[in-house]
Every structure is written in structure tokens, then in C-alpha cells.
Amino acid sequence: MTITLPVFDQLEDSLWLTLCGRALDNRREDPLLRDELADQIVRTVDYDYGKLKISPSSVIYIAHRALKLDEIARDFVTRHPDAIGLDLGAGLDSRATRIDVPPTVDWYDVDFPDVITARQQLVPARPHVHNHAADLAEPGWLDRIPTDRPAVIVADGLLAFFPLAEWSAILNRIIEHFPSGEIAFNGYSTFAVKAAKVYPGAKAVRAIMRSEGFDDPHTPESWNPKLRLVREILLTREPEIERFPAGLRWANRLSARSESLSRRGNVVLHYRF
Ligand SMILES: C[S@@+](CC[C@H](N)C(=O)[O-])C[C@H]1O[C@@H](n2cnc3c(N)ncnc32)[C@H](O)[C@@H]1O
């Protein structure tokens, strides 16, 4: 099969960073995520991941946060077999396959039309898993999605691309669309936003960081009265760090002692509405 991918713009190009991170995790001796499909896609397109200069620690952090978002989504669809799942800015991620969404759930992978064209060629189709071409910043993309079912919404590596006013508007539209649900995304502290701007991988894909970041996990509660924090997951304190290579394991154990230090790094924020 010949694969002709669209030419991605700067925003779309960022998907390679996370995809290659998960693929490289899969090539480690003890992969955290075991995302074989990510690895397969990177091999299929013969993507030059070397130019991204993804550090070994970033590979692990990318896989770790994906694992946590998978856990939240899997748990929700297990408790709500009639759920709707949304992966916002899904890129070429195959979360629905990783968590093995039950066929009673309708799952939507949302991204720009060019990314969806690439997904259609590279990510194997599954029943009830839908590719949804849309610009999340435009109102109206939810119109084609059922309104009467509980929903789990995940966004991996997306928040950084939106000023908080735009991000809160997106969350508000989602909260008003569904009767109830849960939302989880990796957070960016004010420090993390500054760090991401000088991160070589982000520079290589010319990523535009537009978020101001926020440090208090309760901040989103002020955007919508229905939104409540379930848990701020500081990844330095999660059990998987025991599987990290020694140096990284020790660095994380040290950071874990301080909440503010942990917040500077890999964080997953989990809310309900
Ligand atoms: C860093 S990538 C992460 C991709 C995927 N979540 C993953 O973990 O591999 C960010 C993704 O968000 C998408 N994106 C950014 N802004 C968007 C918007 N306004 N509407 C739809 N997708 C958007 C990009 O096209 C890209 O695929």
C-alpha cells in the first residue's frame, strides 16, 4: 500500500513528538506503555525521529502520562458501557485500541482534517471508533456527537496549544453538551510552559506553545461550576517510577518529596462534571 501523507502545518507536526515518544518507549527493554501500534506507524512511514532529539527521559514521561490517561479512560468506559469517548487532538494515537474500548462505547478521535486523513491510512479502523475532523477552537464540532450519554474526554499534549481562555471555552462547550462525564489532560504549570518553549523536540517540530499554564489544579473549577477536580496526579508519586531506569527513578523519588517540584514536571489532571 502506498501511503501519501498530507503536508502537516506546525500544530499538526507536533503529533510526531508524542507518537515517536511512545514508539521509542516500545523499543525499550521494559516498555511502560507497550504501544506497538505507535512503533509500527513510525516504522511504516519511516519517520526520522532522530531529528526530534527526544531524550530518554522524555520518552518515558510521554509514555507515562499516556498510561495514566489510558487508565482514566479505561476505568470510565468499564463503569459506563454506554459511554462516549473523546480523544481531543488525537494525532496518530490509538488510545481506543490500547484500552480496548468495548463495542457498546462510541469513541471519537478528534483532530484537524489533514491529521484525520493520515489516521485513515495509518491507524487501523475499529468498530464504533470514529475519526472526527474538526478544529476544536471552532464551535460546532460537537454537533455530530450524541448528547445523551456520559462522556470521558482525554487530551494528551494538547493544552499547551491553547491560551487558557480558549481552552476553558472548549471545556465549557463539552460540559454543556453531555449530561455528565470526566475530563483528563496532562497539565502544564507556568514553569512547564516556559521549559517546553526551549525543549529541543518542540523546536524541531516548530511547536507553538500558546498556553500560559496554571499551577493550581483547582483553577479549571472557576471556569465552570459543574467542573470538580477528582485528582491531581503528580507522576513523580506514581508507582511506575519504580520501573524507571535508576538515575531517573532517583530523580523522581527526590522530586516526589516536594509538591511544587513535582508540579513542574509530568502532571495529569482529572476532573468530573
Ligand atoms: C502534541 S500532539 C498530540 C497528539 C496525540 N494526542 C498524541 O498523544 O500523540 C497535539 C495534537 O493536537 C492537534 N491539535 C492542535 N490544535 C488543534 C485544534 N485546534 N483542533 C484539533 N486538533 C488540534 C494537533 O494537530 C496534534 O495532532
SS3 of 230, please?
Answer: strand
Residue 37 lies in a domain: yes
- List the end-to-end C-alpha distance of the chain, in Å, as a whole number: 44
Q: Which three cell numbers, joined as nine digits, stand for 102?
A: 468495548
* Position with higher pLDDT, 228 vs 265: 228
67/26 Cα distance (integer angstroms) = 13
Distance in Å, CA 88 to ligand 1 centroid: 7
**How many folded domains does the chain comprise?**
1
Domain range enclosing 46? 10-272
pLDDT confidence of residue 119: 97
- Write out pLDDT tens, residues 99-155: 999 999 999 999 999 999 999 999 999 999 999 999 999 999 999 999 999 999 999
CATH number of the domain to which 95 belongs: 3.40.50.150
Mean residue pLDDT across the chain: 94
Say how many C-beta atoms besides its own lie within 10 A of residue 40's C-beta. Answer: 16
Q: Return the best residue to mutate from 14, 107, 141, 153 for the ligand 1 pocket (most ligand atoms within 8 A of CB).
A: 14
Q: Which among 115, 69, 128 is positioned nearest to 266, based on CA atoms?
A: 69
Residue 41 class from Cβ within 10 Å (0-12 exposed, 13-18 middle, 19+ buried)? Answer: buried
Q: Ligand 1: residues whose CB is within 6 Å?
A: 11-12, 14-15, 17-19, 89-91, 93, 111-112, 115, 135-137, 156-158, 161
Distance in Å, CA 160 to ligand 1 centroid: 10
Residue 50 lies in a domain: yes
Residue 208 lies in a domain: yes
132/147 Cα distance (integer angstroms) = 16
Cβ–Cβ under 8 Å, residues 163 and 102: no
Residue nearest to atom 13 of ligand 1 (CA): 89
Say how many C-beta atoms besides its own lie within 10 A of residue 254's C-beta. Answer: 11
- Write out pLDDT tens, residues 154-183: 999 999 999 999 999 999 999 999 999 999
Residue 3 lies in a domain: no
User: Helices (H) and strands (E) in the chain — how many of each?
Assistant: 11, 7
Residue 5 lies in a domain: no
**Identity (one letter) of the amino acid at 30?**
D
pLDDT confidence of residue 174: 98
- Write out pLDDT tens, residues 2-60: 788 899 998 899 999 999 999 999 999 999 999 999 999 999 999 998 999 999 999 99
Residue 220 lies in a domain: yes
Provide mean pLDDT across the span 183-203.
83
Cβ–Cβ under 8 Å, residues 265 and 235: yes
Distance in Å, CA 90 to ligand 1 centroid: 6
SS3 of 198, please?
Answer: coil
Distance in Å, CA 12 to ligand 1 centroid: 6
Residue 36 lies in a domain: yes
